[in-house]
Amino acid sequence: MNMLATQEPRLRDFWYCLFPMHELSDAPRAFRLLGQDIVVWRDEDGRPHAVIDRCPHRSARLSGGTVEEGRIVCPYHGWAFRGDGRCVSVPQSVTNAGPQFGVKALHCTERYGQVWVCPGEPAFDLPHVPHFEKPGYRQIFEFSEDWACSAQRIIENEFDTAHFSFVHKGSFGDSDPAPARTDITETETGFVAELHFAVRNPEDMRDALQMHDDNTVRNVISRFIMPFYQIAEINYPNGLTNVLVTWLTPVDDGTTRFNQFVMRNDREEDVPASQVRAFDRRITSEDRQVLELTDPMVPLDTSEGVEIHMASDKPGLIMRRRMREFLHGGKKA
């Protein structure tokens, strides 16, 4: 039983983070979600809307059009559509009245400064980020970009501690390849993993963490939220808490939109946001180099022997079981 994101209809019933709201200008923006072309725009009140990127008249891409009075206007014949997908203007009509049809509208909203879309019917609410509005924490947007690998491979890697001494030997990876012990408690929408482990503390990491020893430890409470989300609270000995938020969105089977931001209980004058971004970018670049070598097809049934597993793969194996149960065995996993 292998998973390709575009071949799983129930994956359409999750909310997906597309890109930061500040990247949505006055013009429509094209996006591909689960292999389907959609278009997103703002209305006159600044609210985002999303519909299938295809005019029902002659199949022109609406993303090549304009936004007028909060409606998206087709570049071919000027047909205009509201955020609910209904056609409200046909300039060629004597009455300029839209016919009783339109384009398929998708669930769309703004949360955490990001544009979210659910192409099906939401099975769960949007993920909750406890620290987002917590006093004493600042938000630092890091990046929104496409990676050439599957979302499942990336989210499993976020909970894989066995690769640190190999993939991250140029940054924080300790020389001991033995993975950290991970305690996992399953939840309705995923699980919570608790672990602590030693890491190297290179020069750029010392500045970003305001700790100057050669080594340090990370105490981590990391939440996996189906299908491809992570909220990792990383606590350091000096009292710094760094909350890493990762939203992964399948563009197609071999491409994933990777959105990431952090929240920290320090100040800009302590550590500039640019410095935080630079160090995290170094780590994610190391991950990306390896993950883009992986097969986008993920075997959900681990008993078939397609891949060999070891003890440190436990978080990923739980993810696959939960995904298999959701996709093929009912909503409650």
pLDDT in tens, 281-330: 988 889 899 999 989 999 998 777 788 888 888 999 999 999 999 998 84
| Contact by Cβ (8 Å): 211, 237 | yes
In a domain, 278, yes or no: yes
In a domain, 123, yes or no: no
Predicted confidence at residue 333, as pLDDT, reads 38
Predicted confidence at residue 332, as pLDDT, reads 41
Q: What is the CATH number of the domain that holds 208?
A: 3.90.380.10
Distance separating alpha carbons of residues 127 and 177, to the nearest angstrom:
33
Length of the chain: 333
Same domain for 182 and 303, yes or no, is yes
Q: Does the pTM of the predicted model rise above 0.75?
A: yes
In a domain, 330, yes or no: no
Same domain for 93 and 179, yes or no, is no
| Contact by Cβ (8 Å): 279, 205 | yes
Task: Answer positive or negative: Cα dihedral of 248, 294, 192, 304.
Answer: positive
Distance separating alpha carbons of residues 5 and 296, to the nearest angstrom:
9
Distance separating alpha carbons of residues 119 and 85, to the nearest angstrom:
13
Predicted confidence at residue 173, as pLDDT, reads 52
Domain that holds residue 173: 129-325
- Weakly modelled stretches of the chain, pLDDT under 50: 330-333
Strand order in the sheet with 114-118: 16-20, 114-118, 105-111, 48-52, 36-42, 29-33
Each residue's pLDDT tens digit, 22-59? 999 999 999 999 999 999 999 999 999 999 999 999 99
Same domain for 68 and 23, yes or no, is yes
* Helix, strand, or coil (residue 73): strand
Same domain for 67 and 178, yes or no, is no
From residue 249, how far is each of 20, 205, 288 by CA, in Å? 13, 28, 15
Same domain for 88 and 141, yes or no, is no
Q: If residue 292 lies in a helix (H) or strand (E), which one and from where to where?
A: none
Predicted confidence at residue 133, as pLDDT, reads 86
- Left (φ > 0), alpha (ψ -120 to 50) or beta: where does 78 sit? left
| Contact by Cβ (8 Å): 255, 297 | no
Position 299: which residue type?
P
Same domain for 204 and 272, yes or no, is yes
Position 32: which residue type?
R
Domain total of the chain: 2
> Which residues are CB-neighbours of 195 under 8 A, at least 6 positions away?
161, 180, 181, 182, 183, 220, 222
In a domain, 107, yes or no: yes
| Contact by Cβ (8 Å): 241, 265 | yes
In a domain, 121, yes or no: no
| Contact by Cβ (8 Å): 116, 110 | yes
Predicted confidence at residue 330, as pLDDT, reads 47
Same domain for 33 and 75, yes or no, is yes
